[in-house]
Amino acid sequence: MPYKKRETRDFFNFARGEFAIKCSPDHPEAQKRVYIEYKNSGDTVGVERIIHEIRYAELTGKITDIQRVKQKMKTGLVPFWKFHFDDMEKQFVLSLPYSSGWAKQILLRLPNIDAKRFITLVGCLFSDGKTAIMVKQEGNPHVNEETGNINRYWIPKESEELPPMIPPPEDEFGKGQWDDSAQLKFLWNWIEVNFLPNVQAVTVPEPAPKQEIEDAVVEPDIIPEGDPLEESDDLPF
């Protein structure tokens, strides 16, 4: 569904290949989502929870800020990226987990994005259950001709200046979590020096007064745990 403009700032997350904002169960556009809530980090058994949300296939606006924040969740303080947008009528924010393929699908493309112009984020849900975010910008020369997705500027394992992810030490199960802290720090340093000065130097005109729209949604204090669907770090295009 298309994203309808609202007077208050909306706070989105990404789940099941769509951009979603929390709403009340009786909202006419509400859709139910079930997720598992874990009491402590590392728990393998959790409690099933239900939330209601309005979902959108895509979001369009100009990036006005990028932040690294820690949000309070049931498992403690959890790091997130916050991408701030302005579409000339209102402002909205997209929150993505800090160490996630979704965030990197935007971050790795930033040098190829014209910071002074609108971009469109398109959610994808593939047949194998993996999800992704495409980044499009009209007239951008750095695009995949078939999909319109902006090409990555840094390609993991190929770009020499991009720090690699560090594989985990093998345990008795042969599993572990990859360490991308150096990679994310590199991306943040680049954003602070090269990207934010450009977007923050642009003045966005104040929106004209509009009639208030009911059911404006305010960001919840606690955002539900991540989507159970697997994130795709490498898009098939």
Range of the domain at 148: 10-154
Output Rg (C-alpha) for the chain, integer angstroms: 18
How many distinct structural domains can be found in the chain?
1
Nearest to 225 by CA among 109, 72, 121, 90: 72
Domain-embedded: residue 119: yes
pLDDT digits (tens, 9 = 90+) for 155-213: 999 999 999 999 887 765 656 788 999 999 999 999 999 999 988 765 444 444 333 32
Domain-embedded: residue 50: yes
Domain-embedded: residue 198: no
**Whole-prediction pTM value?**
0.77
Average pLDDT, the chain: 81
Q: Would you place residue 214 in the very low, low, confident or very high pLDDT band (cuts 50, 70, 90)? A: very low
Alpha-carbon gap, residue 165 to 199, rounded angstroms: 29
Nearest to 93 by CA among 226, 235, 217: 217
pLDDT digits (tens, 9 = 90+) for 35-86: 887 777 667 778 888 888 999 999 999 999 999 999 887 778 899 999 999 9
Q: Are 41 and 75 in contact (CB under 8 A)?
A: yes
| CATH number of domain containing 17 | 2.40.50.360
Amino acid (1-letter code) at residue 59: L
Q: Are 67 and 81 in contact (CB under 8 A)?
A: yes
Domain-embedded: residue 27: yes
* Main-chain phi, psi angles of 193, to 5 degrees: -85, -40
Give the chain's length. 237
* 94 DSSP 8-state letter: E
CA distances from 11 to 49, 70, 82, 142, 151 (A): 20, 15, 9, 29, 27
Domain-embedded: residue 115: yes
Domain-embedded: residue 189: no
Nearest to 3 by CA among 24, 25, 18: 18
Alpha-carbon gap, residue 77 to 79, rounded angstroms: 7
Domain-embedded: residue 56: yes
Please report where in the chains the tokens 């642009």 appear, as a residue: 202
Q: What is the pLDDT of residue 45?
A: 76
Domain-embedded: residue 168: no
Which residues in 75-176 belong to E strands, given as ranges?
Answer: 76-86, 91-97, 119-125, 131-136
